């Protein structure tokens, strides 16, 4: 349409085609919009008139590529150099700061943590004893994997028998005390053996209790027999009584748990045949020094007659003069708490 002139002010007025587009059907308007978007995108990717890619000339992109090529090469070399420097100055045999020189030191005391197996999920302390074989196998799998990976010594070359006269503290570098799962569970007829599915088939689960590894830590000498006797109601046997031994005891966390937990049997290096009152970790297997075939001493606690269909909070404690026992919120020192549930169900509900 030819432009018209406004005679009053001599201003040329141009009438747009937008009015005509608004009169088009919706389908045609959408089609025209899509064509415009496609054309603008195509021009942005490659503008033939200006000879540009994505809004910049080819020379710009070549210079940018060369810059970042050398930039990332230099960055990679710098990172590799730092890794090489730290690898050269940091020992692979021992931590740079450990024991009293580490962040674990709290007023001259290094706090010891504890753990248990099986632990079906890392963020849950509930251990359920189901009545079905498949669910039982699934539950004990973490204990089985732990036994295979951490409680089995495959290379006897650097193993040495440890004893009160030849403690681990006297071992040469790279040598370990001879210790394995079979020292506590010697045969397939043992109640906690793999053949008996660690007690699960009989509804009498065996729970492994251990101290967390701390490089260089050793139990301090001292007498904790009175504290253990107070906790268990029975004195430590004279044959097990050593000033530096570590003792493990378990009980229900609350009174209701204590009434439902039933009897227990502790299998340990101090009592391979089992004790009704405590387990023990001999002092001469410490310290842990990161040797290749090291196996941490452990105690197996078998719960003989748990009350059915009741969640029981179990608290196990470690006793030694330099082990502090504390449980506040999520902080736990010198003890570990988990929940046992024995049920007639064959497996978890879907």
Select from 214, 252, 262, 231 the least CA-distant residue to 337.
252
What confidence score (pLDDT) does residue 1 get?
A: 45
Task: Please state the rounded mean pLDDT for residues 151-165.
Answer: 91
Q: Is the pLDDT of residue 5 over 70?
A: no
Is it the case that residue 100 has pLDDT exceeding 50?
yes
For the beta carbon of residue 196, count every other beta carbon within 10 angstroms: 17
What pLDDT does 160 receive? 93
The string of pLDDT tens digits covering residues 290-327 is 888 899 999 999 999 999 999 999 999 999 998 988 87
How far is 214 from 289, CA to CA, in rounded Å? 9
Q: Count Cα atoms within 13 angstroms, Cβ side, for 349.
A: 3
Q: What is the pLDDT of residues 46-67, one digit of tens each?
A: 777 777 877 788 888 889 999 9
Please state, rounded to an integer, the average pLDDT across all residues of the chain: 87
> What separation in angstroms does the CA of 330 have from each of 109, 218, 336?
20, 25, 11
> pLDDT-based confidence at 259, cuts 50/70/90?
very high
Question: What is the share, in percent, of the chain residues with pLDDT greater than 70?
Answer: 92
Distance, CA of 147 to CA of 121 (rounded, Å) = 17
User: Cα separations (Å) of 19 from 3, 13, 22, 27, 29?
Assistant: 15, 15, 5, 16, 12
Enumerate the domain spans of the chain: 57-89, 109-342
34 pLDDT band, cuts 50/70/90, is confident
Higher pLDDT among residues 80 and 322, named by residue: 80
Give tens-digit pLDDT for 214-230: 888 999 888 899 999 99
Question: What confidence category does residue 39 fall into, taking pLDDT thresholds of 50, 70 and 90?
Answer: confident
Local structure of residue 157 (DSSP, 8 states): G
User: pTM score, two decimals?
Assistant: 0.76
Closest CA to 106 of 349, 292, 333: 333
CATH number given to 109-342: 2.60.40.1660
Question: Residues near 223 by Cβ (< 8 Å), separated by ≥ 6?
Answer: 243, 321
pLDDT at res. 266: 97
119-149: pLDDT as tens digits: 988 888 999 999 999 999 999 999 999 999 9
Check pLDDT > 90 for residue 205: yes
């Amino acid at each position: 349409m030819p432009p018209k002139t406004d005679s009053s002010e001599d201003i040329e007025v141009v009438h747009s085609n937008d009015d005509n587009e608004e009169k088009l059907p919706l389908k045609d308007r959408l089609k025209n919009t899509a064509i415009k978007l496609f054309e603008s995108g195509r021009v942005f990717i490659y503008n033939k008139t200006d000879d540009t890619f994505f809004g910049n000339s080819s020379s710009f992109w070549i210079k940018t590529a060369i810059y970042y090529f050398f930039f990332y090469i230099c960055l990679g070399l710098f990172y590799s150099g730092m890794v090489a420097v730290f690898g050269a100055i940091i020992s692979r045999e021992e931590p740079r700061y450990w024991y009293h020189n580490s962040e674990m030191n709290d007023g001259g005391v290094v706090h010891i943590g504890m753990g248990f197996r099986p632990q079906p999920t890392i963020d849950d302390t509930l251990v359920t004893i189901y009545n079905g074989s498949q669910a039982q196998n699934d539950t004990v799998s973490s204990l089985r994997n732990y036994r295979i990976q951490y409680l089995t010594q495959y290379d006897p070359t650097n193993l040495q028998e440890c004893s009160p006269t030849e403690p681990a503290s006297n071992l040469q570098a790279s040598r370990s005390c001879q210790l394995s799962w079979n020292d506590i569970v010697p045969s397939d007829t043992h109640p906690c053996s793999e053949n008996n599915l660690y007690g699960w088939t009989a509804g009498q689960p065996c729970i492994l209790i251990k101290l967390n590894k701390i490089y260089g830590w050793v139990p301090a000498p001292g007498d904790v027999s009175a504290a253990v006797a107070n906790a268990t109601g029975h004195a430590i046997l004279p044959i097990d009584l050593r000033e530096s031994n570590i003792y493990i005891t378990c009980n229900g966390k609350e009174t209701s748990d204590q009434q439902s937990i039933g009897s227990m049997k502790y299998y340990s290096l101090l009592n391979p045949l089992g004790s009704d009152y405590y387990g023990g970790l001999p002092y001469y297997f410490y310290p842990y020094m990161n040797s290749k075939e090291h196996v941490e001493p452990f105690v197996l606690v078998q719960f003989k007659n748990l009350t059915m269909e009741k969640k029981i909070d179990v608290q196990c404690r470690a006793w030694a003069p330099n082990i502090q026992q504390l449980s506040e919120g999520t902080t736990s020192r010198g003890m570990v708490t988990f929940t046992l549930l024995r049920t007639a169900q064959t497996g978890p509900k879907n």
